[in-house]
Amino acid sequence: MALLRAQEIANASRNAPGAEALEAKETGREHWLSSANGRLVGRPDLIHGDAVIDYKTGEVHEQGDSSVAKASYVRQLQIYAFLARERMGKWPARGVLLPMAGPPLEIDLEPAACERAASEALHLLDNYNHKIEAGGLPASLANPSPEACKWCPYQILCPAFWMAAGDSWIEQLGTAAIGGTAPAAPRPIYGGAALALLLSADNGTGPLGEVTLAPLSPEVHTSLVLVQAGMCVRVTGLARRADGTVVPTMRSVIARSEDVPNLTISDQTVPQER
């Protein structure tokens, strides 16, 4: 389906102004592009005619506004356009977000805006590298937000995530993450086929207070058998029901705080806090 939709866009782009010049230098599908001595790189899904095309499996609009593309996707296309200009010698005129469902979303790629996006990206990279060289707390390297953290697999161990996440995050984050103390070891349910974990949650997206997580598989969540009364536990990837309670999902990750690895910068070991 995605390939058919991409072909439709590619066919349409052949009739666009200036398409012939760009088509002669078409980069094709998923070619790595680079600039600034390799400091800025990207791999667009497709560059064809005058368009930079990027496939998306999810929503391409800003939440609550079907007329506006997600800002992160716009920046991505702008940087792709900057890299394409470096490769082909001419600016692509438009970006196309191609979702699996719904119509394509076109974005004008203004050269000045694309150059700005590339410059800002390089500035962020330089700032990050400077912090690495200077040392300091690992949390200083992060820029946590619901959008940035939504699909991040390191939520469970990221100190910046746990410092920043609150109840206002849950709608955009899409899942719940809670941390707290287990007043007792997990108890068997369903004749021992599963476990239930009680937490006195005091940080994360909520809900806070007494939270029971069940059913949990001891074969999937192997750390559960090590949880004892008084231990601190973190849980991410929980689904929230309409009544505000949470339930484990296939994405749920559970870890005892003492098992979360320490993070280091410039040989400085920083113990994790719950």
96: in domain: yes
3-state DSSP call for residue 44? coil
Q: Locate tokens 């007494």: which residue?
A: 210
21 Cβ contact list (under 8 Å, min separation 6) = 90
Domain that residue 8 falls in = 2-123
CB burial class (10 A; 0-12, 13-18, 19+) of residue 248? buried
pTM of the model: 0.65
- Separation of alpha carbons 77 and 95, rounded Å: 6
**Bridge partner list, 238:** 176
75: in domain: yes
Q: How many domains does the chain have?
A: 2
Instruction: Provide the token pair at 9.
Output: 């866009």
pLDDT in tens, the chain (274 residues): 444 554 554 454 444 444 443 443 455 566 889 898 899 999 999 998 899 999 998 888 887 677 789 899 999 999 999 999 988 889 999 999 999 888 899 999 999 999 999 999 999 999 888 888 887 777 778 889 998 899 899 999 999 999 999 999 998 899 999 999 999 999 999 999 999 999 999 999 999 999 999 999 999 999 999 999 999 999 999 999 999 999 999 889 999 999 998 877 655 554 555 4
- Are 148 and 265 within one domain? yes
- Separation of alpha carbons 218 and 211, rounded Å: 18
- Are 7 and 111 within one domain? yes
